[in-house]
Chain A
């Protein structure tokens, strides 16, 4: 089938596009000097070849041009919109007036500026970009745009714009331009380059989201793949990866305001200047940003902050509701777009400490029309909400081909949402107002009006504005509740025009309103060069009664590289700390370390407070500071709250001398704390494992320690014997091996393997050959694999011929599959031997389960496969074919559309054997190794879903790039990068564990293509099952029971698999006695279905010691603010529910309890026989009765 749009496109740009088709000829061009002569001939020839080449290109692309693309008729979209009760939506503008809007901003005249790119996502070779700036006007103010002007064209993938300073700032790939219309014809005729050097690594990450701050500064963002290096009058400014820039258009000063996030597409300021970010590829909803705030993925970041809504959708755009047209109780709430699920979300914020609690409430707008892609959102001058709809069925940037013909390149819309029966805001005609009138407009409750007035004032005559401000401030009524906000607006005008006003600033620094004080501190820091007493003003602010003021002051005082600044900053510890304060203080103290560290090393009591000393020492990794910490630690002087941090520090950075101090404390404990002794042993163990370190003069005391009756301690000591290679203690190991229980036996054998000397190897070998216990023989073989793999292979084969149990067989293979070399040796040994067919089959299965993808095609693995197959180890043929071409995938996608049963598909998805939930979450609950799938169906076409299951390495989401860490010792760790800090790299390994690896131990860190998702995972499914599975996945996100709603439904569970653990934990025999007991999380993890139900069939039935049957499930909730927590339970009756150790009573499934801050486990015990339903569902009730603020813990 021919795609006519493509044809038109090709004919328009034919002379250049042909180059693409001529590549094969170019490749054989001669090099350099001769090249130019041949080229002229070549080009003459090329013209005549144009037509045939074009034809081929079209027919190839034609196969791609298919499937259900919704009708682009705006009316069709309109009909399918669902709007929150009391609101209505109308079309403000559509193509051709607006095409492919990427970002929008209002100007002071109430015109809507839109940046539009039709070449996005990628310029075709030789094509010339002609992207545009459009200006939309609603001249008769009826809520529908009636005029569209092309202000500028010829731009190259512009991704942001901001009207101001007499023109418009535009992001143009590597640069920011300021375009001006000097002759009033509505078209730009003057171009000034403002900044340049921004990265281009990814067209959907290019600098974007331009906004004015209330301080008159320009802010804009960039995303993860953008590495920028900008030369400015103040020096070079670099930002690698995501973050927020701050630019003063008057002084040309450019700074990095915040760092990190994956694709921060939303940025907005509240009326007090607090800033918030949303992330188009993140997973934590609203992010609260203050200067220096650092989030996930920032390269080199030592510490990062989290978003306020873990597990929430990804968002684009952000605004804060204000003004008289909107409901009163909506004011201050955040609106942002869930562009994947075709929705507009709303969040309510509540201040807490120095930050916020954010709660998602009902959506403002939603649709099942997959073309609706809201990318930007703004309150307009009439008080309505405007949504820029990029309009595109395809939003995948990298996963779908750049030139895929389903990508829409011609449509676009701006929607307008108004409240029914509420008067619109009268347009204030700001451009004609005098300075006093503009100042008066700063009292407006419309954010838009205040901001635009300020921007006009910024460009008025400075002296006149200062004069006007003086009079205006004097005329303000101090009894007005908004008085201090008005003062702050005046201060911001001073900041915007660049005129320092110390008296006004000081007035606000001592304002009654904490928000005003905090905002004033931020202005003070900007003016530090002009205000000599800045440091002492900040010192006082750090003692402020309100956390938010302290936060700004801690951030600001970092600019003063003095010990006074450090001492003052640490005074923050005298008051309540929280996450943000801890983050900021940590950074400030760490950055000031060159100033204070020498003092503290010289005099431990320098800060006069052990808590402050330890906090400060913890922020650095200087060997001397570590030694001081080790000294304090082994002297039991560390305050409790820092113990864990210090232990971690010792594990990662303690030197052999430092560890010796800890070792001496273990063998001669002065504290008598058995728990600490275990922790200390764990430090020694980890230091030995990770860094090969051993304290000095160990050995003899280990014998003494082994006399202990404590099994946990005994195990650790045995492990240390192996790690430290204490061959002289082999006798002890043998003794314990004989006497100990199963676990002890295993540990002693591992330790023997570690000793790696002739004696112990001989012992292991003889155990492997002749031990009466088969599992001991397997353990011995596993150890021998590490040191003497050839011998191990011989013994293993002889054991395999005796047909060991399936588990033992699997363990044998697992041992050899742990390294390439061992795999190879086993393969060689097996190549001339036959083992029983059953064993060979187990081996093949083990290979499939255990071999990571990157080793599957190594020589050893291939050889082993051949050898096992020779012994009959042939796996049943795959049922669902895994090698499909594009045609077959398309055909399959049609079957999915017509036949799939998503309900059956969900059950297949939940099968343990498929392991989907181990790696993927839904609504944030589930594994974290792969992307959350909550809105997969609304963001990825069916054929791409099929492709990504069959060939996982072909499409990988940002943030899920596989990393390979090569350690100095040659060890390799594969996994996902959680954080690449200055001192350590955190990797999430295949098991989902996070490992911090100090940089000093890393030789190389590189991103490698590939996915942790194994290919062929669905090979065991029947085709109809595969179809149902894809059917389910393709429904995810659409309206109905496959959508993750905003309700707080429990999605992540733990369940008791048997009674053993419960009995051991509580010492109780009967399940009824478990009530009101504090139960640690149980072993079995479960996840709810998309609709929130947990099928009872998935919950184990446990029998207590008296033979009674019951089920126990748990979920975890983080209480952010104390109060009453209510929950509603459906599906099971007569359930017993207790939070922590307090039972609550249920009435009609609803119950509540008073809870205090912190993480809590909620336990539910019930009898499945008495269940009224076939599933269980728990909802945290978010209404007036629920005064506690809580967050369900999601994840793995």
Chain B
């Protein structure tokens, strides 16, 4: 729940991807209640029809999602009011947190993110100072209420800051949302490492940051095999990450070796290549990740159509006497969304894969 920082996340789905995978055994569902330009007062949810007022709409949308946890990302829009608006913001955030509590959900508060472009250098400095001011307020309120606070601001203070942003310097791009998700997972101490396998053929040992089983080595390391159960999250999800999963093998005899994963040929390399480490591009687990992300994005898109429907005026607004029958059509999207939820939770099940390194004859 929040402003465009949250709304835009649905284009990528990385945060949901990371979170849902962290507990592959649990059936988890996520709803993105972000809304461009929104504030703790739900201002961007204003509409021609009133009631419900914007804030009431926000609360009803939270209720409808039946949340156990809410990640709240507000403050970037409010901070434009500067120091003068701070107490108003605090009151609003407290009110919102009271409402969230009353609904029975637990809140996790996010800080704002910095602004990377702002028309002029002067305005940008001012904006970022104001953002920090509001971050402090969010941190303070979290502390008072004993809620988790995640400060993502500093993660975006990097030398090449704009590489994480869309052209406008306000919204994050794909790389930005990846960093956003990773930062949140790190701070929640829910980090999953990308698996590494360091094999020593001479001693028949494998070092890895993931559990292994059925390790076997035959014919003087002509053939090494082992199985590993990987979470989908532990595989790269973007082009830039691809290649970060590597396997190194030391102590091989001279020759060329192939690696198959789950019976499919994955890589071929000389002894030297394997010593230096071979990076895995497409693997069964990256395919699983891609599929999962696709499902998450599809689900978010459909939910967006339900949550901010076109023709709202005629379907659920005050002209629903004209087209109100299409309310059923909107409700019907529930079926698709729930079905996709199911698919997502199926698709995230860890796969046990057999790795097989074989010397070419």
Contact between chains at B336 and A16 (CB < 8 Å): yes
Whether the pair A36, B338 counts as a contact (CB closer than 8 A) is yes
| Closest Cβ–Cβ distance, residue A894 to chain B (whole Å) | 24
Contact B322 A229 (CB under 8 A): no
Residues of chain A with a CB closer than 8 A to B171's CB? 193, 196, 231
* Residues of chain A within 8 A of B323, CB atoms compared: 122, 398, 401-402
* Minimum CB–CB distance for A853 against chain B, Å: 13
Q: Are A123 and B310 in contact (CB under 8 A)?
A: yes
A26 near B334: Cβ-Cβ < 8 Å: yes
Known: A20-B329, A203-B310, A251-B119. A227 touches B47 (CB 8 A): yes
In the complex, are the beta carbons of B77 and A240 less than 8 A apart?
no
Residue B227 interfacial (CB < 8 Å): no
Asked whether any CB of chain A lies closer than 8 Å to the CB of B93, the reply is no
Is there contact, CB below 8 Å, between B50 and A956? no
Q: In the bound complex, do residue B331 and residue A234 qualify as a contact, i.e. CB atoms below 8 Å apart? A: no
Do residues B308 and A200 form an inter-chain contact, with CB atoms below 8 A? yes
Q: How far is the CA of A438 from the CA of B119 in the complex (A)?
A: 30
Q: Of A782-790, A872-880, A1005-1013, A1104-1112, which binds chain B?
A: A1005-1013
Write the nearest CB–CB distance from A1114 to chain B, whole angstroms: 40
Across-interface contacts of B309 in A (CB, < 8 A): 200
Query: Which residues from chain A contact B336 at a C-beta distance below 8 Å?
Result: 16, 19, 125-126
- Scan B313-333; emit 1 where CB is below 8 A from any A CB, else 0: 110011111110110111111
Contact status of A955 and B119, CB under 8 A, knowing A125-B332, A225-B48, A236-B37: no
Contact between chains at B167 and A122 (CB < 8 Å): no
Which of A125, A197, A236 touches B330 (beta carbons < 8 Å)? A125
Is there an interface contact between A233 and B37, defined as CB atoms closer than 8 Å? no
Using an 8 Å CB-CB cutoff, how does the interface string of B132-152 with A read, 1 for contact, 0 for none?
A: 000000000000000000000
Residue of B nearest to A253 (CB): B119
Given contacts A22-B335, A124-B329, A954-B321, contact A233 B119 (CB under 8 A): yes
Residue of A nearest to B68 (CB): A32
B76 and chain A: residue at smallest CB distance: A231
Q: Inside 8 A of A32's CB, which chain B residues have their CB?
A: 66
A803 within 8 A of B: no
Q: Give Cα A865–Cα B2 distance, bound, in whole angstroms.
A: 54
Whether B69 sits at the interface, judged by CB under 8 Å, is: no
| Interface membership of A441, Cβ < 8 A | no
| CA–CA, A408 and B246, complex, Å | 57
Give complex CA distance A954, B339 in Å: 35
Cβ of B191 to closest chain A Cβ, rounded Å: 27
The answer, yes or no, to whether A979 is at the interface (CB within 8 Å) is: no
Give 1 or 0 for each of A120-147: 1 = CB within 8 Å of chain B CB.
Answer: 0111111000000000000000000000
| Contact indicator A229/B332 (Cβ below 8 Å) | no
Give, as a whole number of angstroms, the nearest-CB distance from B323 to chain A.
Answer: 6
Q: Determine if A892 is an interface residue (Cβ-Cβ < 8 Å).
A: no
B3 at the interface (CB under 8 A from A): yes
Task: Report the bound CA distance from A224 to B47 in whole Å.
Answer: 10
User: Is A932 located at the chain interface by the 8 A CB criterion?
Assistant: no
A109 close to B (CB within 8 Å)? no
Q: Report B8 CB to chain A, min CB distance, Å.
A: 7
Is residue B4 contacting chain A, with contact meaning CB distance below 8 A? yes
B177 CB to nearest chain A CB (Å): 13
A-B contacts, CB under 8 A, total:
180
A197 B44 Cβ-Cβ under 8 A: yes
Closest-by-CB residue of A relative to B312 is: A201
| B49 on the A face (CB < 8 A) | yes
Q: Does A1045 contact B (CB under 8 A)?
A: no
Known contacts A123-B305, A956-B322, A961-B318; A20 and B332 CB within 8 A of each other: yes
1/0 per residue A992-1024: CB within 8 Å of B? 000000000000011111000000000000000
Q: Which residues of A contact B313 (CB under 8 A)?
A: 201-202, 225, 398
Any A CB within 8 A of the CB of B63: no
Q: How many angstroms from the CA of A173 to the CA of B342 in the assembled complex?
A: 28
| Residue B17 interfacial (CB < 8 Å) | no
Q: Give residues of chain A (238-255) contacting chain B, Cβ–Cβ below 8 Å.
A: 238, 240-241, 251-253
Is B341's CB under 8 angstroms from A229's CB? no
Does B117 have its Cβ within 8 Å of any Cβ on chain A?
yes
Give, as a whole number of angstroms, the nearest-CB distance from B192 to chain A: 23
CA distance A227 to B37 in the complex (A): 11
The residue from B4, B66, B317 contacting A231, defined by CB atoms under 8 A apart: B4
The reply to whether the CB of B115 lies closer than 8 angstroms to some CB of chain A is: yes
A174 within 8 A of B: yes
A residues 14-53 near B (Cβ < 8 Å) are 16, 19-20, 22-23, 26-27, 29, 31-33, 35-37, 39-40, 43
User: Which chain B residue lies CB-closest to A21?
Assistant: B332
- Residue of B whose beta carbon sits closest to that of A224: B48
Give a binary string over A549-561; 1 marks a CB under 8 Å from any B CB, 0 the rest.
0000000000000
CB B129 to nearest CB in A, in angstroms, measures: 15
- Chain A residues near B8: list those with CB within 8 A: 196
Closest partner residue, chain A, to B329 (CB atom) = A125
| A232 interface contact, C-beta 8 A | yes
Query: At the interface, yes or no: A399 with Cβ under 8 Å from chain B?
Result: yes
- The answer to whether the Cβ of A206 comes within 8 Å of any Cβ in the partner chain is yes
Q: What chain B residues lie within 8 Å of A961 (beta carbons)?
A: 318-319
Q: Using an 8 Å CB-CB cutoff, how does the interface string of A171-193 with B read, 1 for contact, 0 for none? A: 00110000000000000000011
Q: Are A234 and B321 in contact (CB under 8 A)?
A: no
Residues of chain B with a CB closer than 8 A to A31's CB: 66
Cβ of B118 < 8 Å from any Cβ of A?
yes
Chain B proximity mask over A298-334: 1 for CB below 8 Å, otherwise 0: 0000000000000000000000000000000000000
A86 at the interface (CB under 8 A from B): no
Q: Check: B80 CB closer than 8 A to any chain A CB.
A: yes
Partner of A1005, one of B44, B50, B123, B167: B50
Contact between chains at A1006 and B76 (CB < 8 Å): no
User: CA A127 – CA B279 in complex, angstroms?
Assistant: 40
Interchain CB contact under 8 A, B37 and A202: no
Is A953's beta carbon under 8 Å from chain B? yes
- CB pair B3–A231 under 8 Å, yes or no, is yes
Nearest Cβ distance between residue A119 and chain B, in whole angstroms?
10
CB within 8 Å of A: which of B16-52? Answer: 27, 29, 35-38, 43-44, 46-51
In contact, B44 and A235 (Cβ under 8 angstroms): no
Q: Tell me if A230 counts as interface (CB < 8 A to partner B).
A: yes
- Contacting residue for A230 out of B37, B325, B341, CB 8 A: B37
Chain A residues with CB under 8 A of B334: 26
User: Which residue of chain A is the closest to B319 with respect to CB atoms?
Assistant: A398
Does A157 reach chain B (CB closer than 8 Å)? yes
Q: Is B170 an interface residue (CB 8 A)?
A: yes
- Does B250 count as interface, using CB distance less than 8 angstroms? no
CB-based contact B322/A399 at 8 Å: yes
- B183 in the interface, Cβ–Cβ < 8 Å? no
Contacts of A193 in B (CB 8 A): 166, 171
Asked if B169 is an interface residue, CB under 8 A from chain A, the answer is yes
Which A residues are CB-close (under 8 A) to B43? 229, 238
Query: Are A231 and B77 closer than 8 Å at their CB atoms?
Result: yes
Known: A23-B331, A229-B38, A402-B323. A121 touches B119 (CB 8 A): no
Contact in complex: B48, A1007 (CB < 8 Å): yes
Q: How far is the CA of A35 from the CA of B341 in the complex (A)?
A: 10
Residues of A within 8 A of B (CB): 16, 19-20, 22-23, 26-27, 29, 31-33, 35-37, 39-40, 43, 121-126, 157, 173-174, 192-194, 196-197, 199-203, 206, 224-225, 227-236, 238, 240-241, 251-253, 397-399, 401-402, 953-956, 961, 1005-1009
User: Please, could you name 30 A-B residue pairs with CB atoms under 8 Å apart, sorted by A?
Assistant: A20-B328, A31-B66, A36-B338, A36-B341, A36-B345, A39-B335, A39-B338, A125-B333, A126-B302, A193-B171, A200-B310, A201-B313, A202-B312, A202-B314, A224-B48, A225-B313, A229-B44, A231-B3, A231-B36, A231-B171, A233-B118, A233-B168, A236-B77, A236-B80, A240-B46, A252-B167, A1007-B49, A1007-B318, A1008-B318, A1009-B321
In addition to A125-B330, A126-B302, A397-B314, 13 A-B residue pairs with Cβ atoms within 8 Å of each other are A19-B333, A26-B332, A36-B342, A196-B171, A200-B308, A203-B310, A225-B48, A231-B171, A232-B168, A236-B37, A398-B313, A401-B325, A954-B321
- Closest 4 CB pairs between A and B? A229-B37, A197-B36, A229-B44, A125-B329
